[in-house]
């Protein structure tokens, strides 16, 4: 079997086969250390810490209230709907106006 020249990392050689994959028995150790976070996860942690501060919670609540007061329907569509599970749908009824239904309930109702 032909193999490409060895690939070295930290003074250790790893042989690759003709397709560029590591040859059997020549796999480098697993990637990052356990528990290491990438940039996106670190950014979310920073955001969580920031939003946990009481003054930021108050500012956020005031801003959300102002947005809601300006246009409740837009607020619902842009902020609330994306947070809802995707298999929920609104079902309009004559008695109550509307009720929440899961997707399986909607499918069963259509088929009956």
Residue 16 above 60 pLDDT? yes
Regarding pTM above 0.75, the answer is no
- For the chain, give the percent of residues with pLDDT over 70: 61
**Which pLDDT does position 48 carry in this prediction?**
94
Over residues 41-87, the pLDDT tens digits come to: 899 999 999 999 999 999 999 999 999 999 999 998 898 888 776 66
DSSP the chain: --EEEEEEETTEEEEEETTSSBPTT-PPPPSSPTT---HHHHHHHHHHHHHTSHHHHHHHHHHHHHHHHH-HHHHIIIIIGGGS-TTEEEEEETTTEEEEEEHHHHHHHHH-
CB contact set of 53 (below 8 Å; sequence gap of 6+):
none
Q: CA–CA separation, 30 vs 34, rounded Å?
A: 10
Classify the C-alpha dihedral 98-99-102-107 as positive or negative.
negative
In terms of pLDDT, which residue wins out, 6 or 16? 16
In terms of pLDDT, which residue wins out, 90 or 64? 64
């Amino acid at each position: 079997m032909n193999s490409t020249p060895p690939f070295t990392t930290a003074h250790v050689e790893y042989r690759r086969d003709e397709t560029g994959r590591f040859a059997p028995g020549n796999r480098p150790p697993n990637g990052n250390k356990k528990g290491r976070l990438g940039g996106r996860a670190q950014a979310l942690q920073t955001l969580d810490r920031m939003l946990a501060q009481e003054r930021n919670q108050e500012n956020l609540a005031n801003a959300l209230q102002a947005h809601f007061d300006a246009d409740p329907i837009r607020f619902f569509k842009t902020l609330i709907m994306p947070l809802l599970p995707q298999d929920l749908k609104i079902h309009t009824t004559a008695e109550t106006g509307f009720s929440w239904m899961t997707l399986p309930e909607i499918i069963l109702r259509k088929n009956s």
